[in-house]
Amino acid sequence: MDVLTHGLLGGALAQSCGRKNETRAATTVGFLAALLADADALIQSSSDPLLTLEYHRHFTHALIFVPFGALLVSLVLWPALKAFGHPLSFRRVYLYAFLGCATSGALDACTSYGTHLLWPFTGERLAWSIIPIFDPLFSLILGAAMLAGLRWRKTWPARIGLLLAAAYLSAGWFQHQRAENAIRATILQRGHTVGRLTVKPTMGNLLLWRSIYRSGDVYHVDAVRVGLGGAGRVYPGSAARAFNLSRDLPGLSTASVLHGDIRRFDLFSDGYLALHPEDSGLLGDVRYAMLPTSTRPLWGIRLDPKHPDAHVKFETSRRMPRQEIDRFIEMLKGAD
């Protein structure tokens, strides 16, 4: 999720386990510790754009990293707290840092992006897809609870906030199941055979979901709106032919850098690859688009078969015309 929400969850959890005279220090340590995992964004290479994708949500988000991350945060913050006159022991600082660090990977696994939560025991990227990458209501719940606890120097506001946050995640799981059931019923009506299916929430809400499934060599993209009751409503979307390396780039050497980069991007995208519908030179991740019914990807890699031994360029596109914004709002409201 976004950096602020990570900090709010880490701060709230540490605050909920703190002592009255340690409320502010515990919240500060937990908040900052929860941000450490996203330091993986600093792993970059000017010559290899895909390096940052490979290490995003990687080992710093793994459960095994939590005690080491907490130690690193403690070694930095304990002297700083002492310098400001706070008599917090190293053991207490480590406890709050541990709680903050422990939230990062688990929270990111609740989104659809994919997180190496169980690295190095498995290379699988966990993505439970029960909450958007950015959700203002979820952040507001945590922020209000954390600030109330700081204001009154009590632990109960943070504990209530954490319970409400857990309930919100549970609601996300429930909505995910409803959206998946709705699209499976539609798939059955279409007579399609599903190879794989992904259902994920759209930005900032738990009402409108994006569905991507593969039938044969075609990806079908639809939007599913699930309200507070009744069956979900499916908005039919676009379709895109699944990328096939031997068909779409015949003759490309398996020893080339381009071939290796495509394989790396395929792993990052969990196999959901298709050429951009308006730009055949851009290989996109079909899982993400600005409009939930569109196959125009949010990001992709630029293919250049004329230079097979050069690394690909990573490109993003967050362009959303006014017409698509209006369409998104109408689907979010459940309009015809």
Does residue 300 belong to any structural domain of this protein?
A: yes
**What local confidence, expressed as pLDDT, does residue 300 receive?**
97
Q: Are residues 242 and 285 in the same domain?
A: yes
Tokens of 98: 């541990």
Q: What is the pLDDT of residue 195?
A: 85
Residue 199 lies in a domain: yes
C-beta separation of 291 from 324 below 8 A: yes
Residue 84 confidence (pLDDT) above 90: no
pLDDT > 70: percent of the chain: 100
Beta bridge pairs of residue 209: 201, 224
- Name the residue type at position 209: W
Is 156 in the same domain as 208? no
The pLDDT of residue 85 is 84
152-192 pLDDT per residue, tens: 999 999 999 999 999 999 999 999 999 999 999 999 999 99
Please state the separation of Cα 13 from the chain's center in Å.
Answer: 20
Q: What DSSP element (H or E) covers 97?
A: helix 90-109
Instruction: Give the single-character DSSP code of 207.
Output: S
Q: Work out the widest C-alpha separation in the chain, in whole angstroms.
A: 69
Please give the Cα distance from 280 to 300 (Å, whole number): 11
Position 319 pLDDT exceeds 90: no
Distance (Å, whole) CA 255 – CA 160: 56
Assess whether pLDDT exceeds 80 at residue 140: yes
CB of 211 closer than 8 Å to CB of 185: no
For the CA atoms of 143, 149, 155, 157, the dihedral, rounded to the nearest 10 degrees, stands at -60
217 domain residue, yes or no: yes
- Same domain for 85 and 222? no
Q: Is the pLDDT of residue 87 over 90?
A: no
Strand blocks (E) in 90-169 = none
Name the pLDDT band for 318 (thresholds 50, 70, 90): confident
Residues in the chain: 336
In a shared domain, residues 228 and 99: no
CA angle 287, 289, 290 (to 5 degrees): 150
Tally the domains of the chain.
2
pLDDT category at 302 given cuts 50, 70, 90 is very high
Cα separation of 179 and 194, whole Å?
16
Assess whether pLDDT exceeds 80 at residue 194: yes
Tell me: pLDDT of 230 over 80. no
Residue 183 lies in a domain: no
Residue span of the structural domain in which 261 resides: 192-333
Tell me the percentage of the chain whose pLDDT exceeds 90: 93
**For the whole model, what pTM was predicted?**
0.94
